[in-house]
Structure 1
């Protein structure tokens, strides 16, 4: 791995972005990139989609959420964090996921955010160990029946 970087989605990298596919056993836990980009389109200002690039290769995709009304009720509970993380199947285990989380944390700090939120699906091939290993802690909340909410304090 050289020094990875985040790039905005452009016409030049769009096809590579939507081609990012995780391992088959992980598909239950992630949303395809094309769907994420459609959601980003209908949530401008909230969604922050980026490709993860190493050299000239797109190796993954992430989408952060920024200052979201967490309960979608007009209330005061607003959160920011990682909405999606897809690392290409043959690029996993190389540090790109860790890089992506650190890059989102840096962006959230830059925006003055003190807590970094993420949700993950439970299951044998889910990312729970990955997030807990990065310092996220379960906060006791669930989204739906099978998504855990995790939080990381940003310093």
Structure 2
């Protein structure tokens, strides 16, 4: 996997009136479109779930290169365990023109750091399997499958306290 791009201007920033058009212009490769919802849907979900959504533009210098959205402290399965609060990566879109440069690795790492800062000891993510699946990407970042399935997607977890997950 490639290292993060050599830029001291790489950061996550809130989606604002000044950058929303650039954020909406983020589009993954056509062969990935079935694996991740478009940014427009993510922003609508962030609006509807404002209490748990953490949407951010991935910016290198003044250029929006991607979008990441975390979920913070949601009750994962209220019927089974109403105390099971989880945080993790909800959506990751790196623009097709900017893939393979380490921006996705940076975005996930920065979102996970925010989750850790808020006191969580684990971060979760879900991914589709099959052709062009992001599974190798997430496994390479240290996520491990939990054995759970959510919405037809495999669930992975990353320990934030340094202990291995099972």
TM range (shorter): over 0.9
Question: TM-score normalised to the size of structure 2?
Answer: 0.90
What secondary structure is seen at the aligned counterpart in 2 of 1:62? strand
Provide the secondary structure at the position in 2 that maps to 1:151. strand
Q: Indicate whether 1:15 and 2:27 are aligned.
A: no
Q: 1:99 aligns with which of 99, 102, 106?
A: 106
- C-alpha RMSD of matched pairs (Å): 1.1
Number of residue-to-residue matches in the alignment: 154
Q: Does 1:29 align with 2:22?
A: no
SS for the counterpart of 2:131 is coil
Deviation (angstroms), 1:72: 4.3
| SS at structure 1 position matched to 2:77 | coil
Give the Cα separation in 2 of the matches to 1:144 and 1:109: 25
- Tell me which stretches of 4 or more aligned residues in structure 1 moved more than 4 Å: none
| Aligned twin of 1:38 | 44
Cα shift readout 1:15-34 (whole Å, capped 9, x = no counterpart) = 00011000000000101101
The answer for the alignment partner of 1:55 in structure 2 is 61
Deviation sequence 1:13-60 (CA, Å, 0-9, x none): 000001100000000010110110000001112000000000110000
Number of the residue aligned with 2:85: 78
Which consecutive unaligned segments of at least 5 residues does structure 2 have? 162-166
Runs of 5+ unmatched residues, structure 1: none
